[in-house]
Amino acid sequence: MPEKLKVGVIGAGRIAEMRHIPEYLSNRNVELVAIADIDKVQLEEMGKKFNITKLYIDYKEMLKKEKLDAVSVCTPNYLHAPITIDALNHGLHVLVEKPMATSLEEADKMIEAADKNKKILMVGHNQRLAPGHQIAKKIMESGMLGKVNMVRTVFGHAGPEFWSPRGKWFFNKKEAFAGVMADLGIHKVDLVRWLLGQEVKRVSAFKATLEKAGDVEDNGVAVMEFEGGTLGILQVSWTLKPGEDNSTIFYCEKGMLKLFAEPDKPVVVSLREKGDYMPNFARGDMSFSLPPMQTNEVGGQFSSGVIDYFVECVLENKKPFISGEEGRKSLEIVIAILKSAETGSVINLPLK
Ligand SMILES: NC(=O)c1ccc[n+]([C@@H]2O[C@H](COP(=O)([O-])OP(=O)(O)OC[C@H]3O[C@@H](n4cnc5c(N)ncnc54)[C@H](O)[C@@H]3O)[C@@H](O)[C@H]2O)c1
């Protein structure tokens, strides 16, 4: 194992600037060697901002010339699969942003390439690593809330143009493959199936383009039935005002778990035994104080934990719990949701 992990970042846009580059730079086990971006102006700006001197317009040249151990793939969605496969075949470990691919065929090829080359493939589903969601996982696993009957999860903000003014590709189906479902929906689908420990059995969904120009949806809702019987609602939007909504509520046999649903109380457990329907019989609320959720609004995405965890997995040669296979399952649900919205029918999973 090298003394320091030699890393490159491919796609030096907004998520690279806000998360991958600064988090690699602050990890003492990493040497961030080079970055690549087809946009020369952006590349040079990022090189200057972070004091990185090895800059590549062509990522293939970076892979050839630099002796790297790992890369982050932070390009528009349609490039995730080809670049990831290329990097894996060069013998590098890969952290790819979400959604990992634009089709299940692509996702399969990425997983195959990781297996064939015996390299780590991790997907940037950072919601799983948010401290509030890590605590939530422990609460769910403790069984204190009993069976989960329903879950409602929401992710919305004003739109990607406020996050990445250069990111016109978000609104272009060819490059993004879908709109807010691929951007935000996949985060929540991934989070909920991980927290529940259940896979989705079938979905029914609607989507609409209500305010944004482009050929992708900017709002969407989906109803999901999980294999353990839990029913779920997913609501995603790129047109929310005035602020972001990034909340999830589990309605359970013995109470409720609220995640980022109450101001100043990121995680709240409200325990009510069966029959405690009168306010006086309440068993009480527990709230956990935690570092704030990383949001676009609250100064960006600097401490997601995603980079440190990826580095740890590579250095300790362990499979991440946010693996390619996990990213594929979440992608499959988003594809099913889009298909349901497009056909007006209920879609069963797994997809054929
Ligand atoms: N995990 C999260 O919370 C999160 C948040 C935002 C974005 N993302 C994901 O990160 C990815 C990038 O999003 P962004 O907001 O940074 O977009 P962006 O448009 O700001 O940045 C993308 C960059 O990729 C570059 N690029 C395009 N083609 C390239 C190529 N062939 N080689 C090298 N660079 C190339 C562009 O020039 C641009 O600088 C997307 O997949 C997005 O879904 C994840």
- Ligand 1 lined by 39 (C-beta under 6 Å): yes
Report DSSP letters for 33-72, one per residue: EEEE-S-HHHHHHHHHHHT--EEESSHHHHHHHS--SEEE
Q: Is the predicted pLDDT of residue 291 greater than 80, yes or no?
A: no
Q: Which atom of ligand 1 is nearest to the CA of 15?
A: 16
- Ligand 1 lined by 207 (C-beta under 6 Å): no
Segment 231-259 shows an average pLDDT of 96
* Domain spanning 128-295+331-348, CATH architecture: 2-Layer Sandwich (3.30)
Segment 15-21 shows an average pLDDT of 96
Segment 334-345 shows an average pLDDT of 98
**Ligand 1 pocket: which of 37, 63, 330 to mutate (most atoms within 8 A of CB):** 37
Does this chain's domain 5-126+302-321 share its CATH topology with 128-295+331-348? no
- Evaluate whether 247 touches 260 at the Cβ level (below 8 Å): yes
Q: Is the predicted pLDDT of residue 292 greater than 70, yes or no?
A: no
Give the residue whose CA is nearest to atom 40 of ligand 1.
Answer: 76
Q: Is the predicted pLDDT of residue 4 greater than 90, yes or no?
A: yes
Report DSSP letters for 88-152, one per residue: HHTT-EEEEPSS--SSHHHHHHHHHHHHHHT--EEE--GGGGSHHHHHHHHHHHHTTT-SEEEEE
For the four alpha carbons of 190, 154, 339 and 11, in that order, the dihedral sign comes to negative
- Taking all residues of the chain, what is their mean pLDDT, rounded to a whole number? 93
Q: What is the pLDDT of residues 164-220, one digit of tens each?
A: 999 999 999 999 999 999 999 999 999 999 999 999 999 999 999 999 999 999 999
Spans of all domains in the chain:
5-126+302-321, 128-295+331-348
Segment 143-162 shows an average pLDDT of 96
The DSSP bridge pattern shows strands 285-288 and 265-271 to be: antiparallel
- Enter the pTM of the model: 0.95
CATH classification of 5-126+302-321, choosing from 3.90.1580.10, 3.40.50.720, 3.20.20.80, 1.10.10.10?
A: 3.40.50.720
Could you tell me what percent of the chain has a pLDDT over 70?
93
